[in-house]
Every structure is written in C-alpha cells, then in structure tokens.
Amino acid sequence: MRTVDQTIENPFQIVSHDTATKARIGKLQTAHGEIETPCFMPCGTQGTVKALSSEELETLGAQMILSNAYHLYLRPGEKIFQNVGGLHAFMNWKGAMLTDSGGFQIFSLAPLRKVTDEGLSFQSHIDGSKQFVTPEKIIQFQRLLGSDIAMVLDECTAYPSGRKETEEAMRRTHVWAERSKREFRRITNDERRTTNKEQLLFGIVQGGTYRDLRKESCETLVAIGFDGYAIGGLSVGESKELLWESSAVCAGHLPPDKPKYLMGVGMPQDILEGIALGIDLFDCVLPTRNGRNGQVFTSYGILNLKNASYALESGPIEEGCDCLACRGYSRAYLHHLLDAKEILGVRLTTLHNVSFYLRLMREARVAIAQKRFNDYKDQIHQWVRRHP
C-alpha cells in the first residue's frame, strides 16, 4: 500500500518542459485515471458543478473536478456518503476529484467562527447550527468522500493582514498540516478503514504576501512531506504584482517533482501566468459563476449575452467552438433565454465557459510541448488588452 512517505512511487511524472518559462507538462496518477497537467478543475462545491451534469463534464473532457469538504460536511452530511460509498458514486462522476478542506470557506465566515490550536468553531451558513471541526475530522471526512486528492485544513488570513497575524495563522496551518498528515497516515495504514488506497494528500502553503513567511511555509510543509502542494491565501484582494511575487516565491521553494496547485486562480490570462511559473493545477468559480450571469468567454473577449446588442445575432457564442451550446444555439437564443430567466440559458453559457477553460488548458499543453508557451501566453494577453 502506497503512503505519502513512499516517494519511490511518486504518482506525478513530468513529461515535458517549456524552454523560455518554467511551464511543464505532467501526468498525475489518481485512483480515477491519469490527469494531464496543467489541469483546470471546474468547481463542484456542493457536489455538482453548477448547472452541469456529470455526463456533460465528461463529454467536455474535464479530467478532475473540485468539491468542498466543508459544504458537504454540513449538507448532505456524513451519513449518505457511508450509504453510497463516497462522493464519486453520489454525484455519478467517473473522473478524478480533489476536495478542498474548506479552511478558506470557514475563515470567510468571520465573525461567526473562532479558531484555536485544537480546531475551528463556527456557525453553519445553512442553519446557524454550532459546529466544531479539527484537522483530523476533515481528513476523516475526505477519506469518507473518497476524493482522489484531499487537502489539509489550513488557516487563511484576509488581505491585508499584519505580519504578526499572518505569522500566527501560518504557524497554526503548519501544526494542522502535521496533524493532518499523521491522521491520514493512521487511516491509510488501518486496513479496515481504507476505502481508497490511492488517495493523495496535499499541503497548503500560507504566509500572506510576506516573502520570507512564504519561503518558511514551503520549507516546513516540504519537511512534513506531501504528495503535492497548494499555494493558498492568494487571489483574495492583493494586487496582481503581489499575487505573482508570492506565487513565484512558493513555486521556487516547492519540490520540482511534486504537483503544485494555485488555489482559486483565475482569469484565463492569470492561469497562463501561473503555468509559466511551473504551477500544475488550477480551480476557479469564474467560468460557472460568470456563465450564470450571462457572461461568456471567447477568443474575442468576454461577452455579456444579456446585452440587448445580442438579441438579433444568429451566430453562435464563438465560431469554431465545438461545445453543445455553440453547435446548436445562437447568441440571440441565449439572450432570449437569459432575458426570460430560463434555466437552459445558464446551462448553455456555463457549458460553453467550462468548455472554453478546458480548451485553454489543452492549447496550453500543446504550446508547452512545442516549446512556444510564451507565444501562446502573449496571444491571450493581447486578448486581455482588448477586453480588460
């Protein structure tokens, strides 16, 4: 049985490098198939990628989706996952799945939460009930969910935060990371409780926008040892300069042979910046959330289909896109559906947006393999200049 200590069986292999940037193509073995990186994970926070079915995600070529232990712990709760044998069966998803611990979401509940070294007290955002979770509990629950990648519970700080506060949160994140690893090892070594031998465990780097804290956080987590490393606590309001500075510090202090995951980033151009730093995994609510607002991503920029100017346009969202929305439906029809608040409208815009993000990643991988990633990135940056 593989544990996170047996590095001899590193499930991550680097296949190809770009030359001018740190971008790389990797293959990550999971219990639900091999993931090609860089990889974007559509967000299925509550056990569903909003508005899409699992069949549609598969058709779109999604390799791995993200879900959230915090949300699923509160609703539907543990018992149903014991009954059906995990989140894959529950949501009928056959691909890979990463579950976030929910640290970020719980910290967003301030002032309804209280943190101690032992764990986190908070009030449920659903029914106001009092809850208490520990790093161990979150690991146990993700084990029950049977995700392919589990994340440790971490403490996020808001931006801006003072050095002392950031340092304290980082220190606690490290204590929790150690405890999470210990609990994960205990469970995976206990045959009776092992339901998914291949589950991977990722640590989460904190340290705000302080370069030295970020470096310290990377080194501490690497010393504990994880299957992969996430860069947390960014894209929370800091400038793009600070985002990329902090990300670059982390990318530079994390082991090159492990997958790196930049949490919650972001716009297409931001994902490409991350890839150039050697980041392998990304997630973001933008394609789904913007879709529900009528905003669609195209190679000519972001269009808001609620705008009356699309009411008579008989062409698809994007010429050449092979998604179901673009193959069958006009901008005018989507405008009508959004205007009339018809569910099919947000279904189709969401489907197109997820398709756009997955295509972006496929194109990025091809560009890396052909050692022309900077050209591709520049092309997308020109897109941004046209549509800031």
Q: Which residues bind a second copy (CB under 8 A)?
A: 46-48, 50-55, 75-76, 79-80, 83-84, 90-92, 311-312, 314, 324, 328-330, 332-333, 335-337, 339-340, 342-344, 346-348
Helix, strand, or coil (residue 232): coil
Please, what is the minimum distance in Å from the beta carbon of residue 83 to a second copy?
A: 5
Active site residue 127: no
In this structure, are residues 339 and 306 in contact, taking their beta carbons and an 8 Å threshold?
Answer: yes
Q: How many residues does the chain have?
A: 388
Q: Which is nearer to a second copy, 76 or 160 (CB)?
A: 76
Distance CA 81, CA 144 (A): 7
Please, what is the minimum distance in Å from the beta carbon of residue 86 to a second copy?
A: 12
Q: Which is nearer to a second copy, 76 or 162 (CB)?
A: 76
Q: Which is nearer to a second copy, 41 or 170 (CB)?
A: 41
Torsion of CA 302, 308, 314, 318, to 10 degrees: 0
Please, what is the minimum distance in Å from the beta carbon of residue 194 to a second copy?
A: 22
In this structure, are residues 348 and 334 in contact, taking their beta carbons and an 8 Å threshold?
Answer: yes
Please, what is the minimum distance in Å from the beta carbon of residue 125 to a second copy?
A: 12
**Strands ordered across the beta sheet of 24-30:** 12-17, 24-30, 33-37
Distance CA 275, CA 258 (A): 14
In this structure, are residues 251 and 22 in contact, taking their beta carbons and an 8 Å threshold?
Answer: yes
Per-residue CA distances from 292 to 56, 160, 301 (Å): 17, 30, 17
Please, what is the minimum distance in Å from the beta carbon of residue 305 to a second copy?
A: 13
| Residues ≥6 apart with Cβ < 8 Å to 357 | 40, 42, 268, 271, 284, 287, 297
Catalytic residue among 100, 148, 270, 280: 100
Distance CA 187, CA 194 (A): 7
Residue 203 Cα to chain centre, angstroms:
14
Q: Which is nearer to a second copy, 50 or 365 (CB)?
A: 50
Q: Which is nearer to a second copy, 67 or 180 (CB)?
A: 67
Active site residue 100: yes
Q: Which is nearer to a second copy, 96 or 249 (CB)?
A: 96
Among the residues of 254-342, which ranges form H helices? 268-276, 286-292, 324-328, 331-339
Please, what is the minimum distance in Å from the beta carbon of residue 93 to a second copy?
A: 10
Catalytic residue among 154, 270, 280, 283: 283
Residue 242 main-chain phi, psi, to 5 deg: -70, -35
Active site residues: 100, 283
